[in-house]
Amino acid sequence: MRAGLVSSAVLHIGIIGFMAISFASPNPYETVQESMPIDIVSDSELSKMMSGKKDAPKAEAPKPVVEKIDKPKQAENLDAKVSEKPEIKAAKEAAAPPPPPPPPPEAKPEPAPQQQAEAKPPEPKPAPPQPQAKPEPAPPKDAESMAAKPPEPKKDEPKPAQTAQAAPPPPPAPPKKPKDIPPKVVQAPPKEQRDFNPNQIAALLNKQDPRRQAALGDTMNSMASLGATRGDANSLSQTEIDALRAYIRQFWSLPAGGVDVERITVSIRFILGPDRRLQGAPQLVEVQGAANPYAKVVQETAMRAVNLAAHQDNPFPMLRPEKYETWRDLTVDFNPSMLNY
Amino acid sequence: MNPADVAQTAMAAPSADLSLIGLFLQAHFIVKVVMGGLVLASVWVWAIIIDKTILFGRMKRQMDRFEQTFWSGQSLEELYRSLSSRPNHAMAAIFVAAMREWKRSYEGGARSFAGLTQRLDKVMDVTVAREVERLEARLLVLATVGSAGPFIGLFGTVWGIMTSFQSIAASKNTSLAVVAPGIAEALFATAIGLIAAIPATIFYNKFVSQVNRLALRLEGFSDEFSAILSRQIDERG
């Protein structure tokens, strides 16, 4: 019997020692978190999706028109009226080009002398009577030159074409030659042209009183688009909703232990000011599953969560002031199984 | 409940040593007693198993050898003289007991042989019963451990789960990380109970059948020897 007892004891000690070594500590479960590539498509993107055409040319993204936003202009005259429309610079620039046309008459005297030299004999007669009716003298020239020089029709014809193209120039030309007859009448316009000052013309054209311009540079959207002034879809993005949800959930401590709590939904509406603080008390919109005795608890804790969330030092940090209109009036559904925006 | 809170409380829970030794050391006192008792029972069971295996094997070999010599035609007187000093196994004990009774009655000069056969039968029956009892000794321990071991282990488990529920109630936390060590430790008691009980039951059944076979063989031998002796009596009478 002793042999059996000794061998049995040795056997057990050996087994226990082996277990103590080999089963020293159980292996913890390996919780492998698989990463999945996810494209996040927000609700607003999904709702704005349109059917597309595969071979359509690639549309270019709208280019920013204004790279740099100017400082607001200091009003020069505070007494003047405020005009709502911006000053139109294009008008000034458009006004500037007209001056060039007048100079041509001065620049093109050179071709004119040749024509006139050729057509000198006939011209003097028609010129005097028609200093103001400028286009009219030209046809007579052609007709007369044609008539005067039948043997050289080819040479003459191109020149009339030139005169026809430079229809305006010829008229000024005549005035110079027939100085003797109506000098004063013809010379009056040239004097004005010499004094030509684009700024003065612009001043003449813009008959409006000088007005202050409404400040636009720092408020106007710099994107060339037909969008809203804020340039954002009128909704919070999914990430902002998630952030809001997570933020409020921090402050929502719901005691465990209710039955059928997932059927209770408490909707609470609250209005935030631009400083992201509560304006007025949050209101209870509706309670689903109010028959559940636990609903009262859910409702009270949800109210407390909203109050608590709004009374932090930096409440609702995820709400950006640019989108104030989208989060001014928020209704949050509190459900014990998940918190919905 | 805020998941962050849960994570924190789970971290705050005692970082349990989940090895088997650690489970034993963390257990409640009563559970420790149960586990220790079951381990001792297992040691005792295996001691009996080893002892009986050796005993039965040796006895079977000795009986084979004795029967061979008994039926070889050797003189019973010589056989008796060689064995009478120390009958080292059951069959030899029966033979020696019967021969001793025979010699006493025969050599004592008793004239009446009528009662001799009855006396021989009784002596051999008693010897067979004594030898079978010796073979069966401690087999009841195996039977007891085999049947009661699981219950004892279950008691330890119930007690351990009871205390772990009490500690859950005290800590007001139901996360699995808090509950699990107590339950694992409690289940360890049942495991030890089963470890002790399963071999006990298996070997108890095996040994009981072996004892029955050996007892049958002893009874057969005693009957045959009784037949031989009664034939001798009749021849002499």
ipTM: 0.73
Quick check: A254 contacting B, CB < 8 Å? yes
| Angle, alpha carbons A26-A29-A35 (nearest 5°) | 155
Look at A23 and B19 and tell me if their CB atoms are within 8 Å. yes
Is B43 close to A3, i.e. CB distance below 8 A?
no
Asked whether A189 and A106 are in contact (CB, 8 A), the reply is: no
Sheet holding A329-335, edge to edge: A278-288, A265-272, A329-335, A338-340
Instruction: Tally C-beta pairs within 8 A across A and B.
Output: 55
- For residue A49, give both structure tokens: 């999706």
| Chain B contact set for A25 (CB, 8 A) | 17-19, 22
Mean pLDDT, to the nearest integer, of A15-27?
Answer: 77
Contacts of B1 in chain A (CB under 8 A): 253-254, 256
Shortest CA gap A241–chain B (Å): 19
Q: Does A11 touch chain B (CB under 8 A)?
A: yes
> CA nearest A8: which of B114, B141, B34?
B141
Report chain B's terminal Cα–Cα distance, integer Å: 103
Amino acid type, B170: A
Asked whether A77 and A209 are in contact (CB, 8 A), the reply is no
Q: Give percent of chain A with pLDDT exceeding 70.
A: 43
Q: Are A283 and A268 in contact (CB under 8 A)?
A: yes
Helix (H) or strand (E) holding A333: strand A329-335
Q: Is the pLDDT of residue A122 over 50?
A: no
Rg (CA), chain B: 30
Q: How confident is the model at residue B149 (pLDDT cuts 50, 70, 90)?
A: very high
In B, minimum Cα distance to A337 occurs at B1
User: How far is residue A130's CA from residue A107's CA, in Å, rounded to a whole number?
Assistant: 22
CATH class of the domain defined by A238-340: alpha beta
Contact status of A1 with chain B (Cβ, < 8 Å): yes
Q: Which residues of B touch A16 (CB under 8 A)?
A: 39
Question: In the structure encoding, which two tokens stand for residue A223, read together?
Answer: 């994107």
CB B125 within 8 A of CB B222: yes
Which comes out higher in pLDDT, residue B101 or A76? B101
| Range among A161-175, A252-266, B119-133 rated most confident | B119-133
Burial readout B159-172 (b: 16 or more C-beta within 10 A, e: otherwise): bbbebbeeeeeeee
Please say whether the beta carbons of A211 and A80 come within 8 A: yes
Could you tell me which residues are beta bridge partners of residue A64? A223
Give the up-direction half-sphere exposure of residue A96: CA atoms within 13 A in the CB hemisphere: 5
Q: What is the chain A residue with the closest CA to B16?
A: A25
H/E element holding A284?
strand A278-288
In chain A, what are the domain boundaries? 83-98+200-213, 103-195, 238-340
Establish how many alpha carbons lie within 13 A of residue A143's alpha carbon, considering only the half-sphere containing its beta carbon. 6
Identify the sign of the CA torsion B84, B90, B94, B95: negative
CA A269, A274, A279: angle at the middle one, nearest 5?
A: 40
A69 pLDDT more than 50: yes
- Alpha carbons B167 and B180: distance in angstroms, whole number: 12
Nearest in space to B97 (alpha carbons), one of B134, B126, B59, B65: B126
- Predicted local distance difference test score (pLDDT) of residue B34: 92
More reliable by pLDDT, A134 or A78: A78
CB A298 within 8 A of CB A334: yes
Kindly state whether A8 is in contact with chain B, defined as any CB-CB distance less than 8 angstroms.
Answer: yes
8 Å CB contact of A1 and B43 = no
Out of A8, A250, A254, the one facing B47 most closely (by C-beta) is A8
Name the β-bridge partners of A270: A330
Domain boundaries, chain B: 20-236
Please work out, in degrees rounded to the nearest 5, the angle formed at the alpha carbon of residue A213 by the alpha carbons of A207 and A218.
150
Chain B residues with CB-CB distance to A251 below 8 A: none
Q: Which amino acid is at B73?
A: G
Facing residue for B50 by CB, picked from A4, A19, A26: A4
Lowest mean pLDDT, pick from A332-341, B171-180, B219-228: A332-341
A232-253 per-position pLDDT tens digit = 455 677 778 888 888 888 888 8
Strand bridging mode A329-335 / A338-340: antiparallel
CA distances in angstroms from A118 to A142, A160, A232, listed in the order given: 11, 11, 71
Judge: A25–B18 Cβ closer than 8 Å, yes or no. Answer: yes
- Would you say the C-alpha torsion A306, A307, A312, A318 has a positive or negative sign? positive
